Amino acid sequence: MTAGEAVQPPDHNAITPSAAQVGATLDLALIGNGRIALLVDAKGSVVWGCFPQIDADPVFCALLDTREAADARGIHSVELIDCVHAEQSYVRNTAVLTTRLEDSRGGIVEIVDCIPRFVQHGRMYLPVLHVRQLKRVAGNPRITIRLRPAFGYGQVPAAPVRGSSHLRYVLGEQTLRLTTDAPIAAIVDEKSFLLHDDLTLLFGDDETVPEMPRDLGRRFVNRSIEDWRDWVRKLAIPFEWQEAVIRAAITLKMNACDDTGAIVAAVTTSIPEAANSGRNWDYRYCWLRDGYFVIDALNRLNATGTMERYLRYLVDIAANAESAPLQPVYRINGDAALEESAVATLPGYRGMGPVRIGNDAYRQVQNDVYGSAVLAATHVFFDARLQEPGSLDLFARLEALGLRAIACHDQPDAGIWEYRGRARVHTFSSVMCWAACDRLHKIAGRLGLAERAARWGNEAARIRAFIDTHCWSEKRGAFVVAAGSDDLDASLLRLIDVGYVAPSDPRYVATVLAIERELKRGDFIFRYVDQDDFGAPANAFVVCTFWFVNALAAIGRVDEARAMFNALLACRNRHGLLAEHLDAATREPWGNFVQTYSMVGIIESAIRLSVPWDEAF
């Protein structure tokens, strides 16, 4: 075991029943297949999940409810009578989850949860299906199955319609089916029964299952385990922190939609950024900025397939936009409209509403999107392994985005933090506009287009002159959040990541030190500390601390960076997962979950800090 591997998440794999109340915690596991995703609590209850895709109506919504487990709506639970102990973990290097429950008499039941994902008939098979296996391990466990899907964001519970060996649930325009070898009457009446034999529950699309549930469930689970492990084997992981990186990569893979190529920011909506803050947003959509961060992280691990699918998604969006500006965020299917509204049918996480659907950020001007789009595509022009290398046609499409970047590099926008009540010429947005032109300069050179390369190089230089003149503050001795401002924000730490400055640049070093003085609270970096539309932020935005870790390492403070990175890893939940925010004092997670930004941070920092393989042993 290396020094990097020594720090693991707190050991709470064993819990008491009182620690697993429905909807009370983000100590959850994520299972998914790139089409649907479910969140499972510590005792095996599914408390969140949208069907038939991640941004749809949540069939399981107990995470945003306040009812006790016995009265919960939007839940799928297997309750062991007189449960005194629970353990839970992923099957190694997979997204398959096992939960083991033990009663006071020695009865033990194991729950295996899987959203199938494997190659079938030459293509990836991603059914809208949750496979749940119930296994009697010891004794005579007595269980109660509660399957209570709902629709209309918890407004309408779905009554089951019996079949011979299945139950159908009509949820508005969608019908889902449970096919099982468990006693149908016991499920409908929620009556407890002795688990004599292993049982299988298949919940998903309203389709006939052509074989025994047990056989199909076993086959789907085994093939999914094989597929996940095969994918992990191909990853180019760093020597240190391997388990953390693998779990982060698997999580990002689940947040990437195979069908369309979209990458969602999180699978949830309306988990508040801090208690009673009102900062409750719907993150079940694809931010172009987040998409770039995710594919950049996965590319570093040699997982290029996600990038290729995302690029197709991006090209389609740009084509559909025609002459209109790019939005910062789109639906999974690429639709542009994301009208935001609040629903009254769910009280919210721990009763802290509102619960929002949609996100009005789609209306905002966020000028960094052009840089994010061009950066996401740059890799395909330089990687000879890819089946579809960058083409002249793609370059022409990217040039259209570059022209947008030129036009808006010195214009006000809402910025990376999506301010709703003000607009400024944000430094990060201007730098990303520079990055768009800089990469187009490099791509044109790669394609042998000398005149185009010179044009884009000149444009990059012109934008750089604006940034150096207006976004550097002699008074502060640092880069600042916006042109003419004296404030700081954590996005300035990213200047080295896009190549705007070298880590040794005295201006960057001074900026890092200024951020450390003003934005660091305990072990964490806040994205900013000044007032916004909702007041001053109460919690730390997790990925900002990862950015600071990388900055410390880049300027030579490696030991401090490693210590801070290990402290961050200790804030993960039992499954190695992170939300969007952390309480700097208690380390409690807040914000939408699982947050792709945060998981990207694990990968980026581990790669930057790890001992190289050729020096490890």
Q: What is the pLDDT of residues 215-231, one digit of tens each?
A: 999 999 999 999 999 99
What confidence score (pLDDT) does residue 161 get? 94
**Domain for residue 509, yes or no?**
yes
At position 357, the amino acid (one-letter code) is I
**Domain for residue 4, yes or no?**
no
Distance, CA of 46 to CA of 443 (rounded, Å): 47
125 and 20, same domain (yes or no): yes
Question: Look-up: residue for tokens 């807040």?
Answer: 590
Which helix (H) or strand (E) segment holds residue 187: the answer is: helix 184-189
85 and 209, same domain (yes or no): yes
CB 577 within 8 A of CB 565: no
Q: Which residues pair with 88 in a beta bridge?
A: 99
- Angle at alpha carbon of residue 154, lines to 150 and 157, rounded to 5°: 40
Task: Find all residues with CB under 8 Å of 389, minimum gap 6, and list them.
Answer: 380, 381, 383
Question: Look-up: residue for tokens 């003085």?
Answer: 517
244 and 215, same domain (yes or no): no
Distance, CA of 273 to CA of 262 (rounded, Å): 24
Q: What is the CA radius of gyration of the chain?
A: 25
Report the CATH number at residue 420.
1.50.10.10
**Domain for residue 9, yes or no?**
no
449 and 302, same domain (yes or no): yes
Task: Find all residues with CB under 8 Å of 173, minimum gap 6, and list them.
Answer: none
What confidence score (pLDDT) does residue 385 get? 84
221 and 248, same domain (yes or no): no
Which of 230, 251, 268 terminates a domain? The answer is: 230
Q: Which residues of 225-238 are buried (b: 16+ CB within 10 A; e: fewer)?
A: bebbeebbeebebb
Task: Find all residues with CB under 8 Å of 66, minimum gap 6, and list them.
Answer: 23, 347, 350, 351
Distance, CA of 510 to CA of 389 (rounded, Å): 40
209 and 304, same domain (yes or no): no
Q: Which two tokens stand for residue 562?
A: 């490693």
- Between the alpha carbon of residue 19 and those of residues 77, 87, 90, 182, 217, the distances in Å are 16, 12, 19, 28, 30
186 and 280, same domain (yes or no): no
**Domain for residue 298, yes or no?**
yes
Distance, C-alpha 276 to centroid of its chain: 23
DSSP reduced 3-state for 153: coil
Which of 160, 195, 230 terminates a domain? The answer is: 230
What confidence score (pLDDT) does residue 18 get? 37
Q: Which residues pair with 247 in a beta bridge?
A: none
**Domain for residue 2, yes or no?**
no
**Domain for residue 5, yes or no?**
no
The helix, strand and coil proportions of the chain, stated in percent and rounded to the nearest 5, come to 35, 20, 40
Nearest to 280 by CA among 370, 343, 198: 343
Range of the domain at 602: 234-611
565 and 585, same domain (yes or no): yes
Nearest to 264 by CA among 298, 290, 245: 290
CB 157 within 8 A of CB 142: no
268 and 207, same domain (yes or no): no
**Domain for residue 7, yes or no?**
no
- Between the alpha carbon of residue 341 and those of residues 94, 269, 357, 418, the distances in Å are 36, 12, 5, 17
The answer to whether the predicted template modeling score (pTM) of the entire model surpasses 0.85 is: yes
Q: Which residues of 356-388 are buried (b: 16+ CB within 10 A; e: fewer)?
A: bbbbbbbebbbbbbbbbbbbbbbbbbeeeebee
What confidence score (pLDDT) does residue 460 get? 98
CB 526 within 8 A of CB 541: yes
140 and 275, same domain (yes or no): no
**What total number of domains does the chain contain?**
2
Q: Which residues of the chain have pLDDT under 50?
A: 1-23
Distance, CA of 561 to CA of 512 (rounded, Å): 13
325 and 195, same domain (yes or no): no
Give the tens place of pLDDT for each residue, 161-210.
998 889 999 999 999 999 999 999 999 999 999 999 999 999 999 999 98
Nearest to 330 by CA among 291, 305, 362: 362
Which of 189, 212, 230 terminates a domain? The answer is: 230
**Domain for residue 1, yes or no?**
no
202 and 294, same domain (yes or no): no
